[in-house]
Structure 1
Amino acid sequence: MNEHNSIAQLVNQIQREWKTKTAGKPSARFVRFIIKPEEARVYEGFCKLESSEHGSLPEVFVTQLTDFEDEDTFSAALIRDWLDTYDKSQDLLEKVQQQTAFTWDTQPYRQALEKTDGTPMDDTLLAMLASFVRALPQEQKELVLALIPRQVSHTRQMKEWISTLLKKGIPAGVKLLVIDHVNAEHFAFHERQFPDLLLNIHIPMDLHGAIKKLAATGNPNDPEIMLRKCVFEMGAALQDKDVKRLHRWGQQALDTTQRSGNKGLFATAHIMYAGMLFHFKKDPKIPELLERGQRIAKQGTQQGDNACLPLMVQFYGYHGAYAQIRRRFTEAINWFIQQAELATKHQFSQQALNAWYQAAELCRRKDSSRYYDVLEKGYQTGWCLPDEEITASIYIYLLRDYYDYVQIKRKHDIIKEIDDRMIRLFGKEWKTDVDNIRKKREPLILPLETNKTPVTAGL
């Protein structure tokens, strides 16, 4: 990590505070970071950094993104993901074993997973964590299990799960770490419930100032630096709902990147400017930016600019999203299909699946005659993905919907194929699980790329 990066300095601030607070309360077993929502990426970056070989804290951090479905299945899901991560880290383990006498027997926990009948495996999880700590080298007899679930279906149940583990007794040398929000306090416990076991850490940080500083880092005449500054200022104008100021900085972004002669950068300025304006749905500048930016990206692609091809894919999605919010649904479906086909052609699998899902959902609601054809293409696009990409992507919704279709059509071979794979990944109740995940999910309106911000730069 670049120590001079202003975001990296915030991560260093978290590291320093962690050392001070945990040293002051060695009995703590449950640590809660209390943050503002916009700070989430910085804290996630801290957890992932400390879980890598580049971490600087003395504890061994393990960060798990395991979905929380319910309190009865979460421990088993964590054990399964832990062992899967362990199996995929053999290169790192070999390096560790060359330097230390680290050996850990995973067999008891694999056997426990095979024998589970659906009853909670909280005791097995605690035993596994204690076993892992005992196997650590003497100088690293501390483990932090950082829980950052991709999805949480029931916050109250997750709190109950944490309470259960605290009551059973989290082993010495082990800490659970979660991220909670200021004023929400989903995972707050009163000290009387668990004396000396709780540690709450809140770190005041100037994230806005850090992003602004990062945006201005480097040569101010560098068009990339200037674009970063313009994007930051557009974001600030958007937050203030000042569309005139947004247009002023958007135009400056276009002027700066056009002078650079870099078509990828010039097209990026168009898509960032248009993305900001999506919050002002009727602004006439949006279609102009999308059409012009797409032409520039196409020219760059034809000239061999590697940055322009993924931009082309994004532009199709933005066109589709703009047509959708203008309620031109047939046009939106066509744009999303074109996006999916282009992304598939160039092996951008996640973008392709997002586009097929967008098109399928619109067809289901607005053009049912095309629905099953689009759904089938989405199913075919994602089937070759590895298991870990399927469980972490929108493809599970396409699979779920296509499963209902092939049941109606009595395509028994495909039914069995889907069942076999999804039962392996999610268990026998996979259909219910996917339905519950989807219920908790925010509906897609804009392309996912719209949500990208400069906050994560440098992590």
Structure 2
Amino acid sequence: MNEHNPIAQLVNLIQKQWMEKTANKPSLRFVRFIIRPEEARVYEGFCKLESSEHGSLPEVFVTQLTNFEDEDTFSAALIKDWLDTYEKSTALLQQVNERSFFLWDPRPFQQLLERNNGAPMDDALLSLLGSFRQSLPQQQKQLVLALIPRQVSSTKDMKNWISTLLKKGIPAGVKLLVIDHVNEEHFAFHDRQFPDMICSIHVPMDLNAAIQKLATSGNPNDPEIMLRKCVFEMGAALKDKDVKRMHRWGQQALDATQRSGNKGLFATAHIMYAGMLFHFKKDPKIPELLERGQRIAKQGVQMGDGACLPLLVQFYGYHGAYAQIRRRFTEAINWFIQQAELAEQHKFSQQALNAWYQAAELCRRKDSGRYYDILEKGYKAGLHLTDEEISASIYIYLLRDYYDYAHAQRNHDIVQAIDEKMGRVFGRDWKSDVDTVRKNREPMILPLEMEQSENASAS
């Protein structure tokens, strides 16, 4: 890991806190990281780093992303994923064996899993963890199971599951690790319940400063670095609701990227500037930026600039969003349809599905005569997705709505196909689960804002 990387330095902070809080505590069985939501990627990175051959802590970390569906099936799901991961980790195991002898037999647990008739397998999971820990080389006789479920159906039920394992007795030398959020305390236990067995770790960190430092490091005259600096300054102006400062930095972003001669970078500056101005809604500069930026992106596509095609897809979405803000709903629907068709044509699956969903939702509320036609196109656009891709995308809402339509039309084949597909992903009660997720989900953010956030976190 690059020690000069500001994000790597944050990971180092977590490692140091781990050492301080967990060392010389032989009774410790459960560790809870308490984080702010925006810090999740840093902590996930820490867990994945420590689960690799590059980890620096004395414990052996195993990170599982297993979905939590309910407390009766979670242990069995963890065992299954553990065995699958173990089977695929031959290269890593070979490296371990080169340094010290390691031999663990997964067959007894595979047999237990095959014989299981749906009963909870908490005891089997504890036995697996103890067995694996005993097989570790002498210098690494500590094991950490880090749980970062992709989805959690009920934090209350997951807390009950953790409590059950603590009461049954997590083997010596084994710790469970979970991530909890500041002010929510989903997995908090009172010390009196489990004396000396639990520990909470909170690492104060200035993530925004680290991301800004990382993004703007390098040659200050480089147009990409200049653009990043302008974007951060626009973000600060937005936070202060200072539209004049926003325009000043936005214009600097346009000037710096235009001088570069890079169409993709110049178009990016337009869409970022426009995206920031969306928070001021009626600013007359927005349509000018969108129209000019779209022209530049089209020119870049014609010149073979690979960065311009996804930008062009995003411009259609921003035009749709702007028309929606201006209450020009038919125009907005048409923009979203164009975005969906262009994204689908170039195999940008998630962008296509987002656009179909935006168009369908607007039709449902403002142009019901087109609703089912658009909904069907959105349904067909995601038929190729894997179960994992479905679970992580907005396609679950298109499937949920198209299920009701197919049911009303007595199209039993489609109803059965959707029921089987969603049953695999979410379980028997998938309809109510998806309804709950949709009811509680955050408002949809613009595609570029989402990508900026993901890229900054991953940097």
In structure 1, the residue matched to 2:245 is 245
2:80 touches 2:113 (CA, 8 Å); kept in 1?
no
Q: Distance in 2 between matches of 1:78 and 1:436?
A: 25
Distance apart, 1:157 and its partner CA: 3.2
In structure 1, the residue matched to 2:305 is 305
Matching of residue 20 in structure 1 with residue 20 in structure 2: yes
1:321 touches 1:445 (CA, 8 Å); kept in 2?
no
In structure 1, the residue matched to 2:109 is 108
Residues 223-232 or 32-41, more deviating: 32-41
Q: Distance in 1 between matches of 2:36 and 2:365?
A: 36
1:320 touches 1:333 (CA, 8 Å); kept in 2?
yes
Structure 2's unaligned 5+ residue stretches are none
In structure 1, the residue matched to 2:217 is 217
Distance apart, 1:95 and its partner CA: 5.4
CA 1:184–1:436 in 2, change beyond 3 Å: closer, same or farther? Answer: closer
User: Within 5 Å, which residues of 2 pair with 1:66-145?
Assistant: 66-86=66-86, 89=89, 92-93=92-93, 100-105=101-106, 108-109=109-110, 112=113, 115-117=116-118, 120-145=120-145
| Secondary structure, counterpart of 2:194 in structure 1 | coil
- Which one-letter code corresponds to 1:370 in the other structure? R
CA 1:440–1:328 in 2, change beyond 3 Å: closer, same or farther? Answer: same
Distance apart, 1:107 and its partner CA: 6.2
- Which one-letter code corresponds to 1:195 in the other structure? P
CA 1:27–1:418 in 2, change beyond 3 Å: closer, same or farther? Answer: same
Q: Distance in 2 between matches of 1:324 and 1:85?
A: 46
2:227 touches 2:253 (CA, 8 Å); kept in 1?
yes
Q: Distance in 2 between matches of 1:229 and 1:56?
A: 33
Q: Distance in 2 between matches of 1:348 and 1:104?
A: 43
In structure 2, the residue matched to 1:346 is 346
2:7 touches 2:210 (CA, 8 Å); kept in 1?
yes
Matching of residue 433 in structure 1 with residue 433 in structure 2: yes
Distance apart, 1:220 and its partner CA: 0.6
CA 1:130–1:449 in 2, change beyond 3 Å: closer, same or farther? Answer: farther
Q: Distance in 1 between matches of 2:74 and 2:439?
A: 19
Q: Distance in 2 between matches of 1:281 and 1:198?
A: 48
Deviation sequence 1:43-90 (CA, Å, 0-9, x none) = 222223223343332323233334444444444444444445445555
Q: Distance in 1 between matches of 2:178 and 2:250?
A: 38
1:153 touches 1:436 (CA, 8 Å); kept in 2?
no
In structure 2, the residue matched to 1:280 is 280
Distance apart, 1:30 and its partner CA: 1.2
- Which one-letter code corresponds to 1:217 in the other structure? S
Q: Distance in 2 between matches of 1:125 and 1:325?
A: 52
Q: Distance in 1 between matches of 2:123 and 2:159?
A: 17
| Secondary structure, counterpart of 1:453 in structure 2 | helix
Residues 10-19 or 139-148, more deviating: 139-148
CA RMSD of aligned residues (A): 2.7
In structure 2, the residue matched to 1:257 is 257
Q: Distance in 1 between matches of 2:294 and 2:90?
A: 44
Q: Distance in 2 between matches of 1:348 and 1:281?
A: 28
- Which one-letter code corresponds to 2:250 in the other structure? G
CA 1:421–1:47 in 2, change beyond 3 Å: closer, same or farther? Answer: same
| Secondary structure, counterpart of 2:280 in structure 1 | coil
| Secondary structure, counterpart of 1:375 in structure 2 | helix
CA 1:415–1:13 in 2, change beyond 3 Å: closer, same or farther? Answer: same
Deviation sequence 1:11-53 (CA, Å, 0-9, x none) = 1221222223221424221111222333333222222322334
2:333 touches 2:359 (CA, 8 Å); kept in 1?
yes
In structure 1, the residue matched to 2:380 is 380
Deviation sequence 1:313-361 (CA, Å, 0-9, x none) = 2222222222223332222222222111111111111111222222222
Deviation sequence 1:191-226 (CA, Å, 0-9, x none) = 111111111112222333323322331011111111
Q: Distance in 1 between matches of 2:189 and 2:144?
A: 19
In structure 2, the residue matched to 1:162 is 162
1:358 touches 1:444 (CA, 8 Å); kept in 2?
no
CA 1:452–1:116 in 2, change beyond 3 Å: closer, same or farther? Answer: farther
CA 1:168–1:329 in 2, change beyond 3 Å: closer, same or farther? Answer: farther
Deviation sequence 1:337-392 (CA, Å, 0-9, x none) = 21111111111111112222222222222222222222222222211122221222
Residues 93-102 or 133-142, more deviating: 93-102
Residue identity (%)? 76
Q: Distance in 1 between matches of 2:454 and 2:223?
A: 16
CA 1:134–1:378 in 2, change beyond 3 Å: closer, same or farther? Answer: farther
In structure 1, the residue matched to 2:320 is 320
Taking structure 2 as the reference length, the TM-score comes to 0.90
| Secondary structure, counterpart of 2:231 in structure 1 | helix
CA 1:409–1:71 in 2, change beyond 3 Å: closer, same or farther? Answer: same
1:230 touches 1:250 (CA, 8 Å); kept in 2?
yes
Deviation sequence 1:401-446 (CA, Å, 0-9, x none) = 2222222222222233223333333333333333333333223253
Q: Distance in 1 between matches of 2:29 and 2:323?
A: 51
Distance apart, 1:120 and its partner CA: 4.1
1:270 touches 1:290 (CA, 8 Å); kept in 2?
yes
- Which one-letter code corresponds to 1:10 in the other structure? L
2:104 touches 2:132 (CA, 8 Å); kept in 1?
no
In structure 2, the residue matched to 1:446 is 446
2:68 touches 2:74 (CA, 8 Å); kept in 1?
yes
CA 1:233–1:155 in 2, change beyond 3 Å: closer, same or farther? Answer: same
In structure 1, the residue matched to 2:46 is 46
2:333 touches 2:363 (CA, 8 Å); kept in 1?
yes
- Which one-letter code corresponds to 2:392 in the other structure? A
In structure 2, the residue matched to 1:408 is 408
Q: Distance in 1 between matches of 2:439 and 2:67?
A: 14
1:264 touches 1:297 (CA, 8 Å); kept in 2?
yes
| Secondary structure, counterpart of 2:199 in structure 1 | strand
1:215 touches 1:228 (CA, 8 Å); kept in 2?
yes
- Which one-letter code corresponds to 1:281 in the other structure? K
